[in-house]
Chains A and B, each alone.
Chain A
């Protein structure tokens, strides 16, 4: 619980620091924002290791669906990268660029999820 509070306080302080540069030098504000995002994700990565171990456990129980779990994890990775870069572009004030990145993210998620769709369709056809 305390780490969550620490991260929250760090983020707020960092943003307040970045606000100082909003007027004279906006680029430093964005760079500080980027630094904070990287720091927080560094912390998230630590937590993700635990999630990954539980995933292996889950994969053993659902023995048939190992491949789909990896796809699920891949989609999470894609979503995170697109969210990270889109958020930064939005901070910098370039909404159009962040929209493009979000569209790219959605498309790559759909593309990553296609095998699951085909598996479902084949399943249905085999029944019918």
Chain B
């Protein structure tokens, strides 16, 4: 839960975009799509635990 999370997501985004562009221009459309999908899944695997913790904390704190 620190600022690094945002920079990690940004880094993955930039990497995926670059790779996608390279693959797209070298004629491999489907690889580009797969790369962006993989990047998305990776970032989601980082963010989802945080969201789960967030809602658990809310539930515990506000006695929902």
**Given contact pairs A25-B16, A25-B36, A77 touches B61 in the complex (Cβ within 8 A):** yes
Is chain A's binding surface mostly helix, strand, loop or mixed?
A: helix
Complex: chain B residue closest to A34, CB-CB? B47
B contacts with A, residue count (CB < 8 A): 31
Complex: chain B residue closest to A29, CB-CB? B13
A32 in the interface (beta carbon within 8 A): yes
Give A contacts to B, CB under 8 Å: 10, 14, 17-18, 20-21, 24-25, 27-28, 31-32, 34-36, 38-39, 41-42, 45, 48, 52, 70, 73-74, 76-78, 80-81, 84
List the 6 closest pairs (A to B, CB-CB), nearest first: A77-B62, A28-B13, A35-B6, A24-B17, A38-B50, A42-B1
